[in-house]
Structure 1
Amino acid sequence: MGDTLEKSSEEPEISLDNECSTKMGDLVEVSSGEKVKFDDTGLSLVLQNGLENLRLENSLTDVILCVGSREFSCHRVVLAAASNYFRAMFCNDLREKYEEKIILKGVDAETMNILLDYTYTSKMLITKQNVQKVLEAASLFQFLRMVDACASFLTEALQPENCVGILRLADAHSLHSLKQQVQNYIIQNFTQVLNYEEFLELPADILCSTLKSDDLYVTEEAQVFETVMNWVRYKESERFSLLPYVLENVRLPLLDPWYFVETVEADQLIRQCPDVFPLLQEARMYHLSGNEIITERTKPRMHEFQSEVFMIIGGCTKDEKFVAEVTCLDPLRRSRLEVAKLPITEHEPENENKKWVEFACITLKNEVYISGGKETKHDVWKYNASINKWIQIEYLNVGRWRHKMAVLGGKVYVIGGFDGMQRINSMEEYDPFHNCWSEAAPLMVNVSSFAAASYKKRLYVIGGGPNGKLATDKTQCYDPATNAWSLRAAMPVEAKCINAASFRDHIYVVGGAMKALYSYSPREDTWCLVTQFTHERASCGISPCNNKLFITGGRDEKNEVIATVLCWDPETQKLTEECVLPRGVSHHGSVTLRKSYTPIRKIVPGAVSV
């Protein structure tokens, strides 16, 4: 900022003679001894001290500022040079331009004296006792550098007991930088700030912007819910109508299901407010079906013990080698988490492990299910994130690969694929409670290497190959209520070796030879082009994570495996390269889940450490 905040008001007088004798300036350009360009760096101090002496002597002053019972003789030109407020007053054809005395309101005499001393000397003493008054006056009269100095002082003085007051002060005077710094402080020290009643005085908009932050420092979401309810009850008659507005910043789906039932749904204010019922329904659906529901409220906060991550499971490298590792990436923290390798089949030595290739995977209630595959066509396993282990469950009735899995209504579906002889229309439904598979309605069109996703009680099968050479553009829709399939709007292109993800009321489809990302709206039954790629990404993966879409690996038009991870941000509508995997991979699985945060090493731009 260039200013010095003095800790003492006792400043030595500056001698004009000394200043002139010790700072005579520099000869910055000499030409043949005939002329000189002289830069007198000390003149500004001479002028400043001269103006201050003229003010003290009441010489050449041309205006008197009246504040309460005190009068301050000043120079219009000095005030106009230092303050935009006085510049507008004296440089425009206003009444005050010609008046000898000007009455100022909104400031006390002591604070005005500090402002004028600063104007003439560039020095002031800021203390905890005067900073608020000085800031308010400096903001009123537009002494902008003084405002910055006060804001810097307040930033350094932030404490849990005073941060809310400073935040309200910054908000009142539109000090956006200070407001952002204080909000960041509250977010990082949230649990400490809650101990002070002043927090309950926060306006609703500031409270919401604070609670909305991914960086809010809480160990569990229950703290956020209790904060909202305490804030509403503090002025219940005024704030009850604001409950839906504030509660939408609580990530109810991330609450413990028992706490949600016993505390949230049982709360009398909650029960009396029908406008919050959609938020409760969203949480219930998430508890029932896990990652089938994806909203801004299902993303873990940065400081919780769990993080939303996406997994890159198995697949093939450029030399067709099988990948046994599961790469688990946390894009927010830019780190990798340790995950158990793909499982070996029952009673089989690890060195003879069957290859998990062209399998399918999905997430249900934070458990990853994998099924089928060229050499594991009947196998089904699930990964439990809490114990970091793969557990084998009931075999498929019909072995398959190049198929897909989807979650609908709390159940897992295995759809279509190839059985080694032909494309099949078989669909099986898994009941996790009874650990059994049962037949469901078969596909209308037999396909393999298609895309599948669920949305709002419907399951969608998109594209795929009806045989080894052709691809289809058909969109098949399954309704579990009628156990029947129907056709919806066709894709803009015929495609196979594709994948899909349900995200923000749309189903996004990528892969094959499309060189593009498409989205389908189940509500409107329409397709649109989202963005285009420079290369094909056949058999790539796609998964939503932290309110963005991540596209991993695949094969280009030269059949070369791809190592880059792309990120599509729906807010900015931009596609960027997130990172580069240590090796290219295709025909892999890609899913999202919440994982206990145990970082191994950071991801640096352009690479992923393994």
Structure 2
Amino acid sequence: MENYEKQVNNVSPEPILPSENDLILKVNGGELHCNKSKMMESSEFFRGMFESDMKEAKANCVQVQETDIEAMAAVVDFCMTGRIEMSSDTVHCVAEIACKYQVPRLISMCSFFLRDSMTDENCLSTMFFAETFFLKEAYSKSKNYVLWNFMNLIEKEEFLEMDVCHLKTIIDHPQLNVKCELETLEAILCWVNHRRRERIVLLSEILQETKLLDFCYGADLELMKNSPDIVDNCSGDLISKMNAVKNYEKRVRCIPHQLISVGAHVESDTSEDEKEMKLHRGHIVSYDVDTGHMMPYTETPDGCLVSHDVLMGKKGYSACVQGEKIFMSGGENTLGKNTWMMTIWCYSSLEKTWSVVAKLRTPRRHHAMCTLGKSSLLLMGGFGRYRYRLDSVEEWNCETRKWCHRAPLPEKMVNIRACQCKEKVFVTKNGSPSSLFSYNPQADQWTSHPLQFNFGDLAFDAKRIWMIPDDELLYVGLDNMDTVLQFNTITHQEMRCSLFNNQGTFDASTYDFLQLIPEYLNETCEVFQALRRVFHIQGNVCRDRLCSFFVCFVKNEVFALPYFPD
């Protein structure tokens, strides 16, 4: 709400001009006394009226066709003083009148108010209202909010009560955030069942007139065709259409993503483009695969540790992504000076704001943090005070806003990597990883998986270990090695993946991997296919650009965040 408060505070009230500038607006049996010059200054409608040849131009009393005198009085008072008290109960009436009488500053303030008051309970009505009255800020935010949080809304009153045209519009959107079209069908049936007697006849119409079937694949389509609701209530034409659908004709719902680095490693011998990032030490940066450039993404607040040089490794903070949010925890700004970051910071790419979501119970640096399910964060190991190595594991539940202890790591670990793969969390440590450790949150139990894969002597010289979770597969590599471990998290089978092709003659054991030559890149390697899927790299990316991104990924902490345009 800061935007409209700033606008109000910049306006100084002035006294009403006397005599010929006095104006009375007659509204629904009442009278509002105001100043003609002030009304012309604030309202394009009244300026046009009083500068025209209309009879009202010289009148001191004008009839206004409004029924809500309180809302009209608030608008008039704003035109006179530049101030208004806004609330969720009045903003819609005020915005409607402001739009009718063309009061641009007040329209903008209403739009910002609605944008900053978004919740699951009001986002749909806000989107429809903002679209009707061209409230740009409110519409952009509410549309992104609805599409991203769609499955959280299907039991809300606004969703259940909206009309069928609005439902079709949302279902048709290519950026609707659903795992599969069975979720879309679940939402439709939830809406239908709210008033089943009158809405069940609309089910066939909704399925035929929306693009849902265009997004639907194989097994999901078969399940839909056998759904009792569809079999009993949909027309033969719809069933025929479903039988005629071909998978090769499918469209894909695609939510745009940006690649984000929370502390890129920019060293003294890096390129000039990377050196420019030292001007943005307080920023998280984005990476453009098409150009290979890094740009500032968002500035971090005071107290949130971000470093774009080799000091990042010394500060020891940890970061992870959950949905549209980046979380950052722990670290020590200056080692040995008791300058711990004792908070978990969160940046929302939807809200475009930072917030502190939790206070750490234990100082940690060079620890691991990863998501657990849809609502929790798991903090593991690292250094505590006095360089004491930790094996403790703590869970922060973002919904209940409570900490709880989890089973400790099998051993005390620092400089560790962790990620969620399927329903489990996998952890390994830098140096010479000989085992993977998996955590089962249902059993609260750790399991060790000794590796047959030998990373070799070079593992001790590695600066960073990295992981890529891809469905049930987990890829584990080091920043100085040309071979990657592929680990099946279900069968526990291991496979070696070579990052290089057979071109050229060189000794991979002494090759500087961070200077990877694009011609040596094995584009068909499973690692690069997983990289494309996990980081939402669409289209044909040339070998040079894919190589540049992979080097960036190996050197840096890179995440894919949903992109929500303004």
Q: TM-score range by the shorter chain?
A: 0.3 to 0.5
Point out the structure with the larger helix share. Answer: 2
Larger Rg: 1
Question: TM-score scaled to structure 2, two decimals?
Answer: 0.45
